[in-house]
Structure 1
Amino acid sequence: MSTRGFEIVSAYADAGLQLPQRQTQNAAGYDFFAREDFVLKSIWRYDFIRLFRLIKNEHPLTAEDMRRAGAILKPLLVPTGVKAYMQPNEVLILANRSSNPLKRGLVIPNGIGVIDADYYNNPDNEGEIFIQMVNFGPRDVVIAKGERIGQGLFMPYLLADGDQGNANARTSGFGSTGVK
Structure 2
Amino acid sequence: MRTRGFEIVSKYEGQGLQLPKRATVHSAGYDFEAAEDTVLPSIWNTFFKHDRNAPIKGITPVLVPTGIKAYMEDDEYLQLTNRSSNPIKHFLILPNGVGIVDADYYGNEDNEGEIFFQLLNFGLRDKVIKKGDRIGQGIFLKFLKVDNEEVSKNSRKGGFGSSDAH
Q: Name the TM tier (shorter chain).
A: over 0.9
CA deviations 1:47-74 (Å, max 9, x no partner) are x2488xx9xxxxxxx9x62xx323xx01
Note if 1:125 corresponds to 2:111. yes
- Classify 1:137/1:8 alpha carbon distance in 2 versus 1 (closer, same or farther; 3 Å): same
Aligned partner of 2:31: which letter?
A: D
2:134 alignment partner, one of 148, 152, 157: 148
> In 2, are the aligned partners of 1:100 and 1:106 still within 8 Å (CA)?
yes
**TM-score in terms of structure 1 length:** 0.87
Instruction: Give, in whole Å, the separation in 1 of the partners of 2:147 and 2:89.
Output: 43
1:176 alignment partner, one of 152, 162, 166: 162
When you count helix as a share of all residues, which structure comes out higher? 1
Give the 3-state SS of the residue equivalent to 2:161 in structure 1.
coil
CA deviation after TM superposition for structure 1 residue 11, in Å: 1.2
Q: Partner residue of 1:76? A: 62
Q: Partner residue of 1:108? A: 94
Q: Partner residue of 2:8? A: 8
Give the 3-state SS of the residue equivalent to 1:177 in structure 2.
helix
Identity %: 57
Bigger Cα Rg: 1
For structure 1, which runs of at least 5 residues remain unmatched after alignment?
Answer: 55-61
**TM-score in terms of structure 2 length:** 0.94
Aligned partner of 1:12: which letter?
A: Y
Instruction: Give, in whole Å, the separation in 2 of the partners of 1:80 and 1:74.
Output: 19
Instruction: Give, in whole Å, the separation in 1 of the partners of 2:73 and 2:29.
Output: 18
Q: Would you identify which runs of 4 or more consecutive aligned residues in structure 1 move more than 6 Å?
A: none
Note if 1:97 corresponds to 2:115. no
Instruction: Give, in whole Å, the separation in 2 of the partners of 1:136 and 1:152.
Output: 22
> In 2, are the aligned partners of 1:170 and 1:178 still within 8 Å (CA)?
no
Give the number of equivalent residue pairs.
165
